[in-house]
């Protein structure tokens, strides 16, 4: 894991964009994507780059169970609005949260990941240290699976919904081992609200109590922080 701290989110995003650009120039074929507010500026930079991405396949980390792609709170909708409708990707993939058989859907998605090994994965981090929707306690050898969302995650994400009751209780997420298979990873974290999770991820023990701490075991993971999220690091 390489930890880089920048003055603010804008400079941090600039660095993430540079890494992305290098990977793209080196022939990136599969791009792993995350949702949430943290990568929004990075996506803005990518969609205005004017690049031809017709050889690039995308795979997203996760999707809520029970939200259709037409629902503005679904991750499918977010990706369409922030990136996909502006770019000519070869194919774009998200778990189908409306699938009748969720277990079968997880297997289908894992097969897509096998066929499209991720060259570069973009990640955010939840205030409880989750990556994708892998909540504390998720085994490191997990693959794509259905999760029950932690109350703190539903609380953190309720800002995107009209009422807290509307936040889904379940999601489909790539597992921790699916995420760790990526050749290179960029994790972005901004603001003091992430400082505790960042300290545990970077300086705590590698433990499933903080799923993101597994990135200490990844040789090509870039942890890109602003001063706020790095505020509780000792080193």
Positions that interact with ligand GLP (CB under 6 A): 34-38, 61-62, 124-126, 132-133, 153, 157
Q: Least separation, in Å, of the C-beta of 64 and ligand GLP? A: 9
Residue with smaller CB distance to ligand GLP, 56 or 132: 132
What is the C-alpha separation between 208 and 210, in angstroms, rounded?
5
* Residues 6 or more apart in contact with residue 81 via CB below 8 angstroms: none
- Reading the block at residue 57, the tokens are 């396949």
DSSP codes joined into one string, 34-51: --SSTTHHHHHHHHTS--
Q: Least separation, in Å, of the C-beta of 34 and ligand GLP? A: 5
Residue with smaller CB distance to ligand GLP, 57 or 121: 121
Q: Which residues are catalytic?
A: 62, 128, 130, 135
What is the C-alpha separation between 42 and 65, in angstroms, rounded?
26
Q: Least separation, in Å, of the C-beta of 194 and ligand GLP? A: 7
First to last CA, the chain: 14
Q: Least separation, in Å, of the C-beta of 99 and ligand GLP? A: 18
* Axis crossing angle, helix 40-47 with helix 9-25, rounded to the nearest 10: 50
Q: Least separation, in Å, of the C-beta of 60 and ligand GLP? A: 9
What is the C-alpha separation between 114 and 199, in angstroms, rounded?
32
* Residues 6 or more apart in contact with residue 138 via CB below 8 angstroms: 147, 175, 176, 208, 211
DSSP codes joined into one string, 43-85: HHHHHTS----TT-EEEESEEETT--TTSTTSHHHHHHHHTGG
């Amino acid at each position: 894991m390489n930890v880089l701290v920048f003055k603010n989110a804008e400079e941090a995003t600039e660095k993430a964009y540079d890494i992305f650009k290098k990977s793209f120039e080196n022939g990136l074929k599969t791009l792993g994507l995350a949702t949430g507010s943290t990568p929004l500026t990075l996506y803005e930079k990518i969609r205005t780059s004017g690049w031809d991405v017709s050889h690039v396949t995308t795979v997203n980390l996760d999707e809520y169970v029970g939200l259709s792609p037409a629902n503005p709170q679904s991750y499918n909708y977010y990706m369409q609005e922030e990136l996909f409708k502006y770019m000519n990707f070869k194919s774009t993939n998200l778990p189908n949260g409306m699938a009748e058989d969720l277990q079968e859907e997880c297997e289908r998605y894992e097969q897509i990941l096998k066929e499209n090994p991720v060259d570069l994965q973009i990640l955010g981090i939840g205030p409880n240290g989750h990556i994708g929707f892998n909540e504390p306690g998720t085994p490191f050898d997990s693959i794509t699976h259905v999760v029950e969302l932690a109350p703190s995650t539903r609380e953190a994400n309720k800002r995107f919904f009209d009422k807290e009751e509307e936040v889904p209780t379940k999601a489909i997420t790539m597992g921790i081992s699916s995420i760790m298979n990526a050749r290179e990873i960029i994790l972005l974290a901004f603001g003091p609200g992430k400082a505790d999770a960042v300290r545990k991820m970077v300086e705590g023990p590698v433990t499933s109590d903080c799923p993101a701490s597994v990135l200490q075991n990844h040789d090509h993971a870039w942890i890109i922080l602003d001063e706020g999220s790095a505020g509780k690091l000792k080193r």
